[in-house]
Structure 1
Amino acid sequence: MADSPGPAGCPRAAPAVEPVLFLGTVALGLQAPLCTQFLWDRLGAELGYNGSAASGSAGCGNASGAGDLRQQELETLASHWNLYINLAGFFVGLFSVTLFGPWSDSVGRRPALILPAVGMALQAAIYLLVMYLRLHVGYFLLGRILCGLMGDYNLILASCFAYVADISDQRSRTFRIAILEACLGVAGMLASIIGGQWRKAQGYINPFWLVFAVSLAAALYAALCLQESVKERKPAKLFTLSHYVSVYRLYAAPGYQRSRQKLALYSLTFFLIVTIHFGAKDVFVLYELSSPLCWGSDLIGYGSAASYLTYLSSLAGLRALQLCLEDAWVAELGLLSNVSGLVVISLASTTPLMFTGYGILFLSMAATPVIRAKLSKLVDEKDQGALFASVACVEGLCSLVATGVFNALYPASLHFMKGFPFLFGAIILLVPAALIGWIEILDTTPRYGHFTDAS
């Protein structure tokens, strides 16, 4: 824990990075579904489609003939624009996160928290200009690129998790990381409920002003109130290849081969789990907007809130299950919950069945804090920034792959099974379940007992 006092005007208490993550997640939780709905409405108006559930029309479920073809055309177009906008940010963010993360190991975490929050505020400002001036939705690409250059939301995640690793011991780290992930759930749930109701009452512009405001608030909190967690700070150049080399060394430097293998395998499991999580989220709104569900913005808000509620239920489940199970087996139960929920959602044709699927996902977020904690314990304290930068890099790649696969798979599967992307995700999750079980079994074998401390 950092010994230096906080900035003037703020209490000298234990470091609390949760407000930064909370505010950043509120901004993202408001922006993501609203952006998809805005694309749906704007592109639907250009196509002359009047059956949008988001606009409250009763014609969604009764679309047939030319109307049904037009709905499919709109779904495909909106899905593709989601793909283009996300690609624009992720390609840039993939490199900026791995630059800023290792840099924060030297200069401290606070700069790596301020920059992406400012970037999210700039992105919201550009989105507002598009709405006020009725510019083409292609200008959303500019906002995503600027945000990506400053690290994007993934850098906030990486810096917050590195911050928690700085101030926690190995014994408590899994639960501390789970608490941080629970902040994601609380913020996302709040943002989803507010966003859905607010959009229905006042349209898109006012909710996006809130996105701008909370992004700025996150930057100001990190700049003025947050204590530094890096004990020994030192000046370091930002634009240098050494930051990328430090990430590479985590996986390739000489050392215990078993530890490097576990680092790679846990990174692979994390990649698969988060890819499915991001991919499913990308198409949830489109799946809910169109027939047979035909949800309005209020139900979409409640659905997003239900998906974020899994962070809190997973935290409670993790805490309870840790009393009788090893962390790895808790992660396995989380994956079982995830697979079962996605299977139910893939078959959902009614609102009660869709919410049943959300309910079954109650433990689905238990796996990711376990994997983050295990990865953190495999590297030195001085490399936590580089590690979580690499994890954020993996998350950026997850978003890239998820956006490409699911936004392409969804329109391609409309003619034979609308929920096929969720079923596909459930099948893929069997792979990380097998990998985690295999690593845990090897670790409990006497032959590998001397590697246990590294896990």
Structure 2
Amino acid sequence: MDEPDTAAILPGEEDAPPACGPRQPPYSCPVVTVEPVLFLSVFSVALQAPLSTQYLWERVSEDLGFNSSRRAECGNSSLPADPLQQEVETLTAHWNLYISLGGFSVGLLVVPLLGSWSDLAGRRRILILPNLGMALQAVVYLVVMYLKLPVGYFLLGRLLSGLSGDFTAILAGCFAYVADISDKRSLTFRVAVLEASLGLSGMLASIIGGQWRRAQGYINPFWLVLATNVASALYAYLFVRESVVPDPSAKLLTSRHHKAVWHLYSTGGSSCEGDRRFHRCKLWLYTLCFFLVVTVHCGARELYVLYELSSPLCWGSDLIGYGSAAQHLAYLSSLLGLKLMQYCLDDSWVALVGLASNITGLVVFSVADTTNLMFTGYGLCFLFMAATPVLRSKLSKLVDPSEQGALFASIACVENLCFLVGSGIFNSLYPATLHFMKGFPFLFAAIILLFPAGIIGTVRCLEQRRDQSDSTGS
């Protein structure tokens, strides 16, 4: 039996003006809305992730008595592997896996619940609650570091964050909010702006985190993680105007929200008109395309540094930094390219151009044996992020405004799954193919991207054929 929702209405909601956006045309929304929330949340995650892995490495090394100072010269990689170092790597990888799986498994249940609930109760809560949960995770991590507690307590912090929805819920809430306040013409670009903020924030956090850890260790950067999460929650609380009219009677702990997600994909959503079967197929096909594209992005991203560190490239930290900067700058060039291409191309063809850019870059990576060739690959990938905002936008346009939260919660869960699948596949494929082609995982990634390119192109051609037949029939 469902319990009544006891969540209080946020200050200003009880007498707030109607929500802004297409549902309330008399009111206009500011240019900047949830972008700072996403920027700060991504900064927190990007700052925390590599630092927690390095802290796990040092703690495991300390427990096993391994001297974790690394060999500086690339040529030393031909020396026999240290069994103790392999044990440290294995244990660190296992702890990372347990922590990731713990957060993912809890989030898989919680995020669809929160996303669908936000369609009724409002978006602000799904932006505030996960940030508070991530702040609580940072507190647990700080306690572990101060008191030198067993690293297993990291899993406790991750589970607490997962129960609040974690970063996945923030991602769902931000994209649903933008879908609420945007018309069909501007939606793709506003989604692309959010995606660009992901890259810029990640680049800034990576630069700050690495330098700060070398200078002052781990504790002070984690205080910044905590402060960033609190700042994100406060910004959402104080400055983000609600995009839907909250229903005070909306219940959180009810099976209705999971059923809403099931209804969305089983029937094609409430807005489905005309050929329901074709509408539902497009929903599934675009979700599959999104899964394949993001899986490739996540999987390939984890191999770049490993590929660059080893022979024949043997890059140092400076070149690796430049490569990472080039990769993150592609978020900006993709945003600019998407905006320019929208003046003369349909969104589907914009996505195909972005996929073509990604595919050519990956093919160059697969054979890159010089620094110039590697940076050529980065240059060819200058539009590689143009496809994902188009896919998010197309999925959003397929569903009713009252289902945006459920949709983007589902997409956020798919994105989380992409990280696990991509990491597992590409990290397994890389050592398995070293003996015949070191860059084969990049070539494999390029081949995978041919499938979403084919699907998007085919669906667009079918839509054009249907439009032509409808106009002829009328």
Asked if the contact 1:30–1:211 (Cα under 8 Å) also holds between the matched residues in 2, the reply is: yes
Check 1:420–1:313 CA distance in 2 against 1; reply closer, same or farther (3 A cut).
same
Partner of 1:9: none
AA paired with 2:124? R
1:164 Cα deviation after fit? 0.6
1:417 Cα deviation after fit? 4.6
Partner of 1:261: 281
Check 1:438–1:245 CA distance in 2 against 1; reply closer, same or farther (3 A cut).
same
Check 1:160–1:195 CA distance in 2 against 1; reply closer, same or farther (3 A cut).
same
1:286 Cα deviation after fit? 4.5
The superposition leaves residues 333-359 of structure 1 with CA deviations (integer Å, 9 ceiling, x where unpaired) of: 111222222333344455554443333
Residues matched between the structures, number: 441
Partner of 1:250: 264
Check 1:47–1:377 CA distance in 2 against 1; reply closer, same or farther (3 A cut).
farther
- Structure 1 segment 43-442 matched on structure 2, within 5 A: 43=60, 46=64, 48=66, 50=68, 52=70, 57-67=71-81, 77-231=91-245, 233-253=247-267, 255=272, 256-288=276-308, 300-349=320-369, 351-414=371-434, 417-442=437-462
1:70 Cα deviation after fit? 6.5
Partner of 1:30: 47
1:379 Cα deviation after fit? 0.8
1:306 Cα deviation after fit? 2.8
SS at match of 2:33: coil
Asked if the contact 1:83–1:407 (Cα under 8 Å) also holds between the matched residues in 2, the reply is: no
Greater relative contact order (CA < 8 Å, ≥ 6 in sequence)? 1
Check 1:264–1:394 CA distance in 2 against 1; reply closer, same or farther (3 A cut).
same
Percent identity over paired residues: 62
AA paired with 1:149? L
Quote the Cα distance in structure 1 between the aligned partners of 2:363 and 2:85: 25
Structure 2 spans left out of the alignment, 5+ residues: 1-15, 21-27
Quote the Cα distance in structure 2 between the aligned partners of 1:449 and 1:80: 56
Query: Greater CA deviation, 229-238 or 135-144?
Result: 135-144
1:102 Cα deviation after fit? 0.4
Asked if the contact 2:122–2:242 (Cα under 8 Å) also holds between the matched residues in 1, the reply is: yes
Quote the Cα distance in structure 1 between the aligned partners of 2:360 and 2:206: 24
Query: Greater CA deviation, 13-22 or 310-319?
Result: 13-22
Asked if the contact 2:19–2:243 (Cα under 8 Å) also holds between the matched residues in 1, the reply is: no
Check 1:66–1:43 CA distance in 2 against 1; reply closer, same or farther (3 A cut).
farther
Query: Greater CA deviation, 156-165 or 82-91?
Result: 82-91
Check 1:120–1:324 CA distance in 2 against 1; reply closer, same or farther (3 A cut).
same
Asked if the contact 1:92–1:148 (Cα under 8 Å) also holds between the matched residues in 2, the reply is: yes
Check 1:351–1:69 CA distance in 2 against 1; reply closer, same or farther (3 A cut).
farther
1:77 Cα deviation after fit? 5.0
Quote the Cα distance in structure 2 between the aligned partners of 1:329 and 1:207: 43
Quote the Cα distance in structure 1 between the aligned partners of 2:309 and 2:152: 22
Check 1:70–1:275 CA distance in 2 against 1; reply closer, same or farther (3 A cut).
same
Quote the Cα distance in structure 2 between the aligned partners of 1:165 and 1:194: 32
Structure (1 or 2) with the larger CA radius of gyration: 2
Quote the Cα distance in structure 2 between the aligned partners of 1:145 and 1:285: 29
Quote the Cα distance in structure 1 between the aligned partners of 2:304 and 2:94: 15
Query: Greater CA deviation, 322-331 or 187-196?
Result: 187-196
AA paired with 1:224? L
The superposition leaves residues 164-190 of structure 1 with CA deviations (integer Å, 9 ceiling, x where unpaired) of: 111111111111111111111221221
1:98 Cα deviation after fit? 0.3
Structure 1 spans left out of the alignment, 5+ residues: 7-11
The superposition leaves residues 364-423 of structure 1 with CA deviations (integer Å, 9 ceiling, x where unpaired) of: 100011011111111111111111111112112222322332343344445555544333
Asked if the contact 1:280–1:406 (Cα under 8 Å) also holds between the matched residues in 2, the reply is: yes
Check 1:239–1:436 CA distance in 2 against 1; reply closer, same or farther (3 A cut).
same
SS at match of 1:313: helix
Asked if the contact 2:300–2:426 (Cα under 8 Å) also holds between the matched residues in 1, the reply is: yes
AA paired with 1:397? L
Quote the Cα distance in structure 1 between the aligned partners of 2:83 and 2:437: 16
Quote the Cα distance in structure 1 between the aligned partners of 2:373 and 2:296: 20
AA paired with 2:136? L
Asked if the contact 2:137–2:157 (Cα under 8 Å) also holds between the matched residues in 1, the reply is: yes
Quote the Cα distance in structure 2 between the aligned partners of 1:125 and 1:296: 34
Let me know the Cα RMSD of the aligned residues: 2.9
Asked if the contact 2:106–2:159 (Cα under 8 Å) also holds between the matched residues in 1, the reply is: yes
AA paired with 1:216? V
Scaled by the length of structure 2, the TM-score of the pair is: 0.84
